[in-house]
Amino acid sequence: MKPIRTIGIVNGGGDAPGLNPVIRAIVRSAIYEHGMRVIGIRNGFDGLIWPEGAKEMTEDSVSGILPRGGTILGTTNRGNPFAYVSTEDGKEVTHDYSSLCMENARRLGIDAVVVIGGDGTQHIARDFFRKGMNIVGVPKTIDNDLDATEVTFGFDTALVVATESVDRLHTTAESHHRVMLIEVMGRDAGWIALHAGIAGGAHIILVPEIPFKFEAVCDAIRARELRGKRFSLIVVAEGVKLPATDPKGKPVPAAGPGNVANTIAFTLREMLHKEIRVTVLGHVQRGGSPTPFDRILGTRFGVAATDLIAKQQFGRMVCLKAGKMESVSLDEALEKMKYIDPSSEIVHAARAVGATFGDSA
């Protein structure tokens, strides 16, 4: 086996708190433990198509980044090198730049690449592995929807921000006797909404995995009012599926991330005639300093990924299983997404303490 002397780091997709701790861990452990060189690739896989920004990383390059949000490498959530879409002469064209990326990695002297990213980025990593690149993956997403790992880094920080926001809205909702909705991220899975809803004591939690009815949401709000609770807090996952029609049979307009909670609020206002306010948390929950949990998990993932490279175990993604660092093949990692099971213990716990998912009318 040819020894691995130089590692490249690519991070792809949206940023997530904990990316910098992962990068720091790879750089430090590669240098300290394995005597390897590390090259940082800028702006996701774009940096392998246009490699001019690639730079050797040293202890100095990662100094002070442990508590920093974002990623010092920059990132993008567009652009798959295998089918890169751009506009030429006003027309959309698609190029396969994957061979160019392989060639550029070789020119940079990179023997193996750590790819840090969510499912989209890991799909690209898997395709590069199949094409012959030495790849190890690190799972990243605030959505926590990769089944192969107990948890992804970034989720805990997002959850802390979302929970604090629910707490803050709670006091205003109570003071003003309002219904307040907070829309949190979670494009396909409702983990942030479910966890922040439980941690923040939300009264209604709406997630993509549990179809809701407006009547059930209104019934829950009215039932609270009958008990003298004149306010309600609703946590909405941005990916929640809207009913096709409102209770009067009027079509509910299509909505998605950024406006789904407002769309729900519009119908609730018509049904309840109450003061309703909406907060869309957005990218606030993805930015800022990672929590200690995400710094530690990021560090463990980074070290584990570097160790896999040193052992030349390629085509694998590091993961956390029963609290231990393990790894799975990239194929296995991409087999299944992790969604909320409506009959799970955690959903039962939320219901048992009085939360509703809007599914019981």
Catalytic residue positions, numbered:
143
Classify residue 240 by its DSSP letter: P
Nearest approach, Cβ of residue 190 and ligand F6P (Å): 11
- Measured distance CA(72)–CA(19) in Å, rounded: 9
Nearest approach, Cβ of residue 14 and ligand F6P (Å): 4
- In terms of Cβ atoms closer than 10 Å to its own Cβ (0-12, 13-18, 19+), residue 220 is buried
Nearest approach, Cβ of residue 111 and ligand F6P (Å): 30
Q: Of 44 and 186, which CB lies nearer to ligand F6P in the complex structure?
A: 186
Q: Which residues bind ligand F6P (CB under 6 A)?
A: 14, 77, 118, 141-143, 185-187, 238, 257, 286
Q: Which amino acid is at 83?
A: A
Cβ-proximal residues to 358 (8 Å cutoff; 6+ apart), any chain: 204, 206, 210, 212, 213, 214, 216, 217, 220
Are 136 and 116 contacting, i.e. CB atoms less than 8 angstroms apart? no
- In terms of Cβ atoms closer than 10 Å to its own Cβ (0-12, 13-18, 19+), residue 70 is middle
Q: Of 84 and 214, which CB lies nearer to ligand F6P in the complex structure?
A: 84
Q: Of 77 and 86, which CB lies nearer to ligand F6P in the complex structure?
A: 77
- Terminal C-alpha separation, the chain: 63
Q: Which residue sits closest to ligand F6P, CB atoms considered?
A: 185
Main-chain dihedrals φ then ψ at residue 337, nearest 5 degrees? -90, 160
To which residue do tokens 């609290």 refer?
323
Nearest approach, Cβ of residue 237 and ligand F6P (Å): 9
Q: Of 35 and 258, which CB lies nearer to ligand F6P in the complex structure?
A: 258
Q: What angle do CA 75, 239, 207 make, to 5 degrees?
A: 130
Q: Of 15 and 307, which CB lies nearer to ligand F6P in the complex structure?
A: 15
Nearest approach, Cβ of residue 313 and ligand F6P (Å): 27
Q: Of 143 and 294, which CB lies nearer to ligand F6P in the complex structure?
A: 143
Helix (H) or strand (E) run with residue 272 in it = helix 260-272
Tell me which residue of 226, 179, 177 sits closest to 202, measured CA to CA: 179
Nearest approach, Cβ of residue 177 and ligand F6P (Å): 31
Q: Which two tokens stand for residue 167?
A: 């707490």
